[in-house]
Structures are given as structure tokens and as C-alpha cells.
Amino acid sequence: MNELEAGQKIRLKFNISSLRSESITCVVKWFEEDRVALVFPDDCLHLKKSLPEGKELEAVVYTDSGIYAFDSIVINSPLEHDFVIEIPDEKKRIQRRDYIRAPFNLKFVLSKNGMEIETKTINIGGGGVRFLVKDELKTNDIWDFTLYMPDGTVAKGKGIILYSLLQGKLVVSVIKFVDISETDRNRIIKKCFEEEVRNLKLKKLTG
């Protein structure tokens, strides 16, 4: 799999029983054409025994060129020296509608025909942004946007207003990206993924 790099994150989902499943996030240690070795997460060590050789699982990989999902099996159990899973020939690139969204309160600037609106996001995702605005925006209007990311970088492009809804004294609007570089889109996706992983860890600590 040419998109893989050491240090990337892979999310694994597997069944514990007929009624229960678990998800863990591992880091790529090394890989070959048909397999990848993973660093098992320290906060999930109790799940090692649930992943014996031959165990079927679902994998989602977040790479610079997009998100890929595939069915896999365990080649070497995490109880052995290296936790290794299979990389099959057939992989599915996850489409835009499948992108995860994450709650972020970020500076978001819209501009069109010399008009500029500065606002804040409610949540972000690889396909678009939900944000607050004082006045309702016209559906299907195209706007240039600048999204100020948490790491200090910016993502820019064009988007179309899908809808605007009045909530209290403010309007909640959603813009769908129609022109954005793959680099910017993937930075947004990675940030959402990192936030989801952080929230899962918090839930485990407080659960």
C-alpha cells in the first residue's frame, strides 16, 4: 500500500462477542506489500488477548492522499513481538460523505464580491463546515473561505451554502467545499481524526 508511512494512525474495529465490539487506534511501525506491523496502544492492553492470530477486523487508514478502509485479519497477535495485520489487495477509498466531523470553535472568514464575514465554526469536516453567522446566507451562494486551523495554518477554497437555520439570535449555516486542495482537505480530516481519538481516550478515562 503506497500510501502508508511509519507513524501513521490506523483505527481497528473488531468484535469481542456477538453483542459487543471494540475500536482501538494503533500507529504504523513498519509495513510490507501485504502486511503492516502496528504499535499497540498502551491504554488498551487489556484487549490484546482479544486479537489472536486469524481474528477478523476492519481497518481505517488516514493518509495524505485520503482515507482508506479494508477488511483484514491478524497475522501476528499483539501478544507476540510485533502486532501484524494483513493488507488486502482490495481497499475502499472513503468518500466525502463518510468523513467524520469534529467540534471546533475556529476563526472562519467568508468573502464574496468585496464583502467579508468573520465568524466562528461549530464543527468541521473534510466535506465542509458548520458555523454561526448573524444574518441568514442565501442557499446555493458560492463563497471564498479561509479556515484558521488550531496549529496556526489556514485552509482556503470555495464553498456552497447548503442551508441556514435561525437558532436564537444567531443563524447556523453549513457550507460544503466545492474547491479545496487535497492537502488542505486532508489536514482537516487528520485534525478531526485526532480530536475523535482524544475524545475516545477521555471517555475511557471517565467511563
Instruction: Give the pLDDT confidence of 157-183 residue by residue, as tens digits.
Output: 999 999 888 888 889 999 999 999 988
The domain that holds 166 is classified in CATH as 2.40.10.220
Handedness of CA 5, 151, 201, 100 (dihedral sign): negative
pTM: 0.58
Flag whether pLDDT at 12 surpasses 80: yes
The C-alpha cell that represents 127 in the structure block: 466535506
Instruction: Give the pLDDT confidence of 47-102 residue by residue, as tens digits.
Output: 999 999 999 998 888 776 667 788 899 999 999 889 999 998 876 665 544 567 88
**Do 55 and 38 share a structural domain?**
yes
Task: Quote the pLDDT of residue 99.
Answer: 67
Q: For all residues of the chain together, what is the average pLDDT?
A: 87
The domain that holds 56 is classified in CATH as 2.30.110.70
**Domain total of the chain:** 2
All residues at 6 or more sequence positions from 141 whose CB lies less than 8 Å from its CB, including other chains: 112, 160, 161
**Do 83 and 19 share a structural domain?**
yes
Structural domain for 163, as ranges? 101-196
**Do 81 and 29 share a structural domain?**
yes
**Do 78 and 30 share a structural domain?**
yes
Residue type, 55: K
Nearest to 84 by CA among 113, 59, 121: 59
Residue type, 106: L
